[in-house]
Structure 1
Amino acid sequence: MKNSIFPVLAASALAFSLAACGSDDGGSDAGSGGEASGDAAAADLDLITDGTLTVCSDVPYPPFEDFDDSSDSGFTGFDVDIVSAVADGLGLELEIKDSSFETLQSGLALNSGDCDLAASAMTITEDRQKSLAFSDGYYDSKQSLLVPAGSDITGIGDLAGRTVGVQQGTTGESYTEENAPEATITAFPSNAEMFQAIQAGQVDALLQDLPVNVDNSTKGDFEVVEEYDTDETYGLAMQQDNTALVDAVNEQLTALRDSGEYDELYDTYFTTEGAEDSSATSEG
C-alpha cells in the first residue's frame, strides 16, 4: 500500500464499473490503438465542434481542477488529466471552459450546447441522472469538515449555532442540511469563495469533499477534523441522448485502468509524494 493522503481511497475502491464498457469490435482497446483508431471512434460522436472534445469544469477546485497558464489547456488537476487522456485516446483536441458548478450539475451547460462533457468532481446521483448521463465512476470520495486550527469545533455535532460554508448545488450542501440542521449554512458559488470566507472569519467551518479540504488545509492554519463516508462516486457528465459519447468515454476509462495510466495519474495527486510534486508544479 502506498503512503496515501487518503487511505480510505484505496485503489480497489476506485475500480470502475466496467460491465457496460465492453465492445464486440474490440473497442475496449481504445486509447492504445493509435491516432487512426481514435479518429475512427470520434467520427461517430455528436460533438459541438468537430475534432474537439469541449469540456466544462468549475475552476478552481484543486486537486481536481485549477488554472495553469503553463499547460497546453490552461488548466491542471486530476480531472483535467483524465479528460486529456480521454481526448487523446479518441484522437481529439481538448478545449476546457470554466463554468459554474450549478450550470453543470443541473445539466444547463451541456443541454444548451456549451460543452460536450462536464468534468468537475461531480458525484453521480439519482437526481442528476434525470437530466444528465454519466460515465462509469472514476473516483470515490468522502465529505469532510475543515476548521481553523485550534477551533473548538471538533466535529459536525459542534455546528449548532455556528456558520458553515458549503458550495451551492453540491452533495456537501445536502449533507450539511441533513446532518447539521441547527447550523447556519452559507452557500458559495465555488471553493475559492468558501476558502476566502473562512480565512476572513466569515464562516466557522467548511463542509465539502475531502481532497479539496485537504488541499485547503495546506494553504494556511486550518485542519480537517472529521471525515464522512457518503459512498459518493464521481462521474463525467454528458447529454443523455449522446449515448455514443458515453460509450466512447467509458471505453477510454477502461483503457486507462487496463494500461495502468489511471494509477499513475491517481498517484500524482493522491499520494504524499505525488501530491507534493503536483502542488509545487501547479502553483498559480
Structure 2
Amino acid sequence: MKKFIMVCLSALTAAVFLTGCGGEQQPSASSSSGSDKGGKIVVGLDDNYPPMGFRDENNEITGFDVDLAKEAAVRLKRDVEFKPIDWSSKEAELKSGRVDVLWNGLDITEDRKKNMLFSNPYMDNKQIIFVAKDSPIKALDDLKGKTVGTQSGSTGEENINKDQTLKDSFKEVKAYPDYIAAFMDLENGRIDAIVGDEITGRYYMSKHPDKFEARDLAVGDVTSFGIGFAKDNTALRDEVQKVMDEMKADSTMAKISQKWFGKDITK
C-alpha cells in the first residue's frame, strides 16, 4: 500500500492522469495550454488573401498563416478551426467571441491596438503599387487622374484615406472585397493601378508573370503583421506567443516561409 501511494503521488507531481489513483484528468505538464483547458481555437481569416490564407483548387483553406496556425495548434495540443469572415468586420467578429484570433496578414496599427491585443510582429509588410504589364505608371505622380483599386478594410485603403492629398489626386478609389477581384479588374483595364500588400501582390504576380508589374513605391509607412486577440484574452495571447517563439527558435517558421515565399522573410 505504501508503495502504491508513492506511485500515485509521483504521477500527480508529473500531472499525468492515472485511473488507479482516481480524480479528474489534468493537463499534461508538457502542454502549453493553460487558459481554457485546451479548447478549440477558432481562427478568423479572409479566405481570399493569398498567400496568407486562401482556398486551393480543392476548396481547402491553405496559406502561410494557415500553416503557422496549424503548427501552433499542434504544439498547444488544441484543435483549430478556420472561419472565413467579412474582413471589414473583423474587430466585431473578435469582440463578439465568434472567433478567438485574427490570423491572416493583420497589420499592427495604433488604432487596432485600441480594440485588440497583438502578438509580437512576425513579418514586415508595406503597401506598394501594382500595375498592368508595360504600364506607363512609374511614379506616384503618374497616378493623378487614375482609377486606383484596393481591398476594403485593408491597410492599403487606410493609407490612402490618411493621405488626403494623394487620394484627391486620383480620379476614383475602388474598394474590392479581396485583392483577387482587384487584380482581375486591373487585368481587364477597369482600373489603372492597385495599392496593396507587397506580399500578397508579389505572390499573385508570381502566378501571372506576364500580366502585372510591381512599382516599389510605398504608400504609407512600412507595417508589421501580428496575430490579433480579444482585448481581455491575455492568456491565449501569451500561450500562442510562447509557441511562436519556439517555432522561430527551432527554424520551423523559416521553413514555412521558405515553402511560400522561397526564402525566410519572417522577423
Unaligned runs of 5+ in 2: 1-26
Number of equivalences: 232
1-structure distance, mates of 2:77, 2:236: 13
Partner of 2:45: 57
- 1:259-279 per-residue CA deviation (whole Å, 9 max, x = no partner) reads 11111111112227x9xxxxx
Partner of 2:214: 224
Partner of 1:211: 199
Aligned: 1:165 with 2:131: no
Distance 1:268 1:148, change over 3 A: same
- 1:92-144 per-residue CA deviation (whole Å, 9 max, x = no partner) reads 1111011121111xx11111121111111111001011111111111111211
More displaced 10-residue stretch of structure 1: 74-83 or 61-70 = 61-70
Distance 1:186 1:69, change over 3 A: closer
Contact 1:146 1:217 in 2 (8 A): no
Aligned-residue offset at 1:43:
4.3
Contact 1:155 1:226 in 2 (8 A): no
2:96 partner amino acid = S
Aligned-residue offset at 1:69:
6.4
CA RMSD after TM alignment: 2.3
Aligned: 1:259 with 2:250: yes
Secondary structure of 2:194 counterpart = strand
Partner of 1:92: 78
Partner of 1:186: 174
Which has the higher Rg, Structure 1 or Structure 2? 2
Secondary structure of 2:105 counterpart = coil
- 1:184-215 per-residue CA deviation (whole Å, 9 max, x = no partner) reads 21111211221222122211111111111112
Secondary structure of 2:242 counterpart = helix
Secondary structure of 1:174 counterpart = helix
**1:243 corresponds to which of 231, 234, 251:** 234
TM-score, reference length from structure 2: 0.80
Secondary structure of 1:223 counterpart = strand
1-structure distance, mates of 2:29, 2:101: 21
Contact 2:140 2:217 in 1 (8 A): no
List aligned pairs for 1:1-284, cutoff 5 A.
36-37=28-29, 39=31, 41-45=32-36, 51-68=39-56, 74-104=60-90, 107-177=91-161, 178=163, 180-181=166-167, 182-183=169-170, 184-218=172-206, 219=208, 220-228=210-218, 230-271=221-262
TM-score, reference length from structure 1: 0.76
Contact 1:142 1:210 in 2 (8 A): yes
Contact 2:187 2:211 in 1 (8 A): no
Distance 1:116 1:198, change over 3 A: same
Percent identical pairs in the alignment equals: 28
Contact 1:145 1:155 in 2 (8 A): no
Distance 1:45 1:138, change over 3 A: farther
1:152 partner amino acid = P
Aligned-residue offset at 1:226:
2.3
More displaced 10-residue stretch of structure 1: 178-187 or 157-166 = 178-187
Secondary structure of 1:151 counterpart = coil
Distance 1:115 1:221, change over 3 A: same
